[in-house]
A and B are shown apart, each in its own frame.
Chain A
Amino acid sequence: MSDAALPQFRTDTAQKRDTRRIRGEGVVVQAVLIAVSLAFLALFLLLPLVSVFVEAGARGWTAYKAAVTEPDAVAAIHLTLLVAGIAVPFNVVVGIAAAWAIAKFEFRGKNLLISLIDLPFSVSPVISGLVFVLLFGAQGYFGAWLKANDVQIVFALPGLVLATVFVTFPFVARELIPHMQSLGSADEEAALTLGASGWRTFLTITLPNVKWSLFYGVLLCNARAMGEFGAVAVVSGKIRGLTNTMPLHVEILYNEYMSAAAFAVASLLAGLALVTLALKTLLEWRYSDSIAASRRH
């Protein structure tokens, strides 16, 4: 791949000399680098992942099935899917809007907006959860009003969704902004000149152009939404079977000396991560040409 990327105007000999120099010096360095990365991956990523599945299966298939079909576990799985099912589409819509605004328009406060999008990355998840308790808790700014109107936000589904949306917001926007910026707005201008409406331009030009970035954004956003622990732990209230998401349920099981069950539920989460990874790899492999085309566009 890298050879093909070398500038074409060089002579053949110059190109060979360059390549040889790069490779010649590199043999040892290359071997060391590869060994170090592989060892690191095996030790810090593969080993823990394998151990999750080994521990999960430690007590056999029946125990595994019992752990993941137990009512509290099923409730946790439902809740996690529900929270992600609300948070991810919301972040897709708002993420596209924000990326669109930043990439295609010039306006005052644009840099401020970009920094704000990154805010959830730089804030500790515990703080992200606590701000919602401060705002919507019984002693919070809106606490009295919410209570008077019988609305429960923290320690219920809305709080979990809010915290998840907050924590996972940057993923879609962050993926889209650089891509949209590099695309420029020439295609859209052409479509508009030809008489297409704004909405049609968006659907037929902009969205297809950025579909791969959007897809990655959604995958990452979803993975984090399902796996989020810190922010969700603060606003959950930890009511079993009601406000416990999968990551919280894993901790509870572990603390109740039910390691095998804890790892069984953890293996479901790990499985989701693996599916995400496989999906991403598959798409990259199957549509590599189209991805490259849309990137180069």
Chain B
Amino acid sequence: MTQPIFRRVLRAGLVLGAFTLCFGVVAGARAQTELLNVSYDPTRELYRDLNAAFIAEWNAKNTKKLTTIRQSHGGSGAQARTVIDGLNADVVTLALAGDIDAIAQRSKKLPENWQTRLPNNSSPYTSTIVFLVRKGNPKALKDWGDLVKPGVQIITPNPKTSGGARWNYLAAWAYADKAFNKDEAKVRDYIGKLLANVPVLDTGARGATTTFTQRGIGDVLLAWENEAFLALHEFGADKFDIVVPSLSILAEPPVALVDANVDAKGTRAEAQAYLDFLYTPKAQAIIAKNYYRPRNVEAADPKDIANFPKLELVTIDQDFGGWAKAQPTHFGDGGSFDQLYKPAR
């Protein structure tokens, strides 16, 4: 009685398994021209819009059609690591130049002068770092100086894996540098106190945003401007407020073609056109709509531009000597972050 049932189950299982296998193989074998954009955490919504616009534009002009642009998102540093380890990205659109430098140096898949190949330091959009606080700003956090008050909980991701967190860290450093007249001991003391107020370091900006908004941890989120606006948009302006500090940093998230990968896949023309597209008025308008600061302000809807407050912005090149210097000084093994961050016991 039981034996036939058992056999039947076994046979059904085998047939099912064989079907799944065949199906998967067929699905994998279908030829498609597609690009893979390996990006950082908060750009999910931005590239969803940009990709749709680019595919429509490309397919209207070319006979070799583009079916999809695949996206992969994560902490900027972690994403760079996967590209170095062999993820076949056609283009990388990361949070900071230092991460693409790492890909160029370690995998040699793109030349080290990659950042000079496109206009504006290869950054078609910029952003900055602002504070997202709970509605009404109950802890009265108005500027960087308020963050080190005892009892303030700051949410920021881990600068080792997150690009946004590195911009956060350097913005705070730049503020302290100015506030304490370049007295390095005082600056370090300030950063140490700031880090002591951080209860948890997520690996990426989106994880940190989720911790702050959905899990309700912390008094202030140090966030990408675009990420802060998106959170307001998603959860309603009645839950959070954006606080613009007196000074912040001009964040330039760069984009680059991964030469070795596009040549192996035969997608150089598409990938190059994709990156060039980001600088067109059409893309610049989409960029502003997604709360990133466009390079070409005239192309964007003035309503979107009105979202961006004017504030004093320092730059990585003038104030920190570029990523080539800032990366090892602050975030390398034994850098200032390692010296000043003492995890809560």
Q: Which residues of A contact B (CB under 8 A)?
A: 78-79, 81-82, 85-86, 88-89, 133, 136-140, 143, 147, 152, 154-155, 157, 208, 211, 215, 218, 237-242, 252, 254-257, 259, 287, 290
Contact pick for A241, options B2, B68, B74, B88, CB 8 Å:
B68
A211–B13 Cα distance when bound, in Å, is 14
Given pairs A82-B23, A238-B74, A239-B36, 8 additional interface contacts (CB within 8 A):
A82-B21, A85-B16, A86-B21, A155-B87, A211-B6, A240-B72, A242-B70, A254-B210
For chain B, what secondary structure do more than half of its interface residues adopt (helix, strand, loop), or is it mixed? helix
Known: A256-B44, A257-B234. A143 touches B86 (CB 8 A): yes
Type the 1/0 row for B57-89, where 1 means its CB is closer than 8 Å to any CB of A: 000000000001011111000000010111110
Which residues between 86 and 107 of chain B lie within 8 Å of chain A, taking CB atoms? Answer: 86-88, 106-107
Give B130 Cβ to nearest chain A Cβ, in Å.
19
Known: A238-B74, A254-B210. A154 touches B3 (CB 8 A): no
A79–B70 Cα distance when bound, in Å, is 16
A238–B14 Cα distance when bound, in Å, is 30
Q: Which residues of A contact B86 (CB under 8 A)?
A: 136-139, 143, 147, 152, 154-155
A147–B85 Cα distance when bound, in Å, is 11
A51–B13 Cα distance when bound, in Å, is 32
Give the residue among A82, A241, A255 with the most B Cβ atoms within 10 A. Answer: A255
Q: Which residues of B contact A240 (CB under 8 A)?
A: 70-72
Q: Does B166 make an interface contact (CB < 8 A)? A: no
CB-based closest 10 A-B pairs: A138-B86, A85-B20, A137-B85, A82-B24, A237-B87, A257-B234, A155-B87, A238-B72, A290-B2, A239-B72
Give A217 Cβ to nearest chain B Cβ, in Å.
13
Q: Quick check: A255 and B72 within 8 Å, CB to CB?
A: no
28 sample A-B contacts, Cβ–Cβ < 8 Å, listed by A number: A78-B23, A78-B24, A82-B24, A86-B21, A89-B13, A89-B14, A133-B85, A137-B86, A138-B84, A139-B106, A139-B107, A154-B85, A155-B87, A157-B24, A157-B28, A208-B3, A211-B6, A215-B6, A237-B72, A237-B82, A237-B87, A238-B72, A238-B73, A239-B87, A240-B70, A240-B71, A241-B70, A255-B206
Closest to A136 in B: B86
Q: Does B281 make an interface contact (CB < 8 A)? A: no
Type the 1/0 row for B20-49, where 1 means its CB is closer than 8 Å to any CB of A: 110110011000000010000000110000
Which residues between 163 and 177 of chain B lie within 8 Å of chain A, taking CB atoms? Answer: none
For chain A, what secondary structure do more than half of its interface residues adopt (helix, strand, loop), or is it mixed? helix
Q: Does B207 make an interface contact (CB < 8 A)? A: yes
A137–B68 Cα distance when bound, in Å, is 25
Give A234 Cβ to nearest chain B Cβ, in Å.
9
Q: Quick check: A138 and B107 within 8 Å, CB to CB?
A: yes
Give A199 Cβ to nearest chain B Cβ, in Å.
16
Q: Which residues of B contact A143 (CB under 8 A)?
A: 86
Q: Quick check: B206 and A139 within 8 Å, CB to CB?
A: no
Q: Which residues of A contact B17 (CB under 8 A)?
A: 85-86, 88-89
Closest to B213 in A: A257
A102–B9 Cα distance when bound, in Å, is 26
A259–B234 Cα distance when bound, in Å, is 11
Q: Which residues of B contact A152 (CB under 8 A)?
A: 86, 88
Closest to B207 in A: A255
Closest to A137 in B: B85
A147–B265 Cα distance when bound, in Å, is 13
Q: Which residues of A contact B20 (CB under 8 A)?
A: 81-82, 85
Q: Which residues of B contact A218 (CB under 8 A)?
A: 13
Give B41 Cβ to nearest chain A Cβ, in Å.
8
Closest to A289 in B: B2
A215–B12 Cα distance when bound, in Å, is 13
Q: Which residues of A contact B70 (CB under 8 A)?
A: 239-242
Q: Which residues of B contact A85 (CB under 8 A)?
A: 16-17, 20-21, 24
Closest to A140 in B: B85
Q: Which residues of A contact B82 (CB under 8 A)?
A: 155, 237
Give B34 Cβ to nearest chain A Cβ, in Å.
9
A170–B260 Cα distance when bound, in Å, is 40
Q: Which residues of B contact A254 (CB under 8 A)?
A: 210
A100–B74 Cα distance when bound, in Å, is 44
Give A139 Cβ to nearest chain B Cβ, in Å.
6
Give B271 Cβ to nearest chain A Cβ, in Å.
15
A170–B94 Cα distance when bound, in Å, is 39
Closest to A291 in B: B2
Q: Which residues of A contact B6 (CB under 8 A)?
A: 208, 211, 215
Q: Which residues of B contact A155 (CB under 8 A)?
A: 82, 85-88
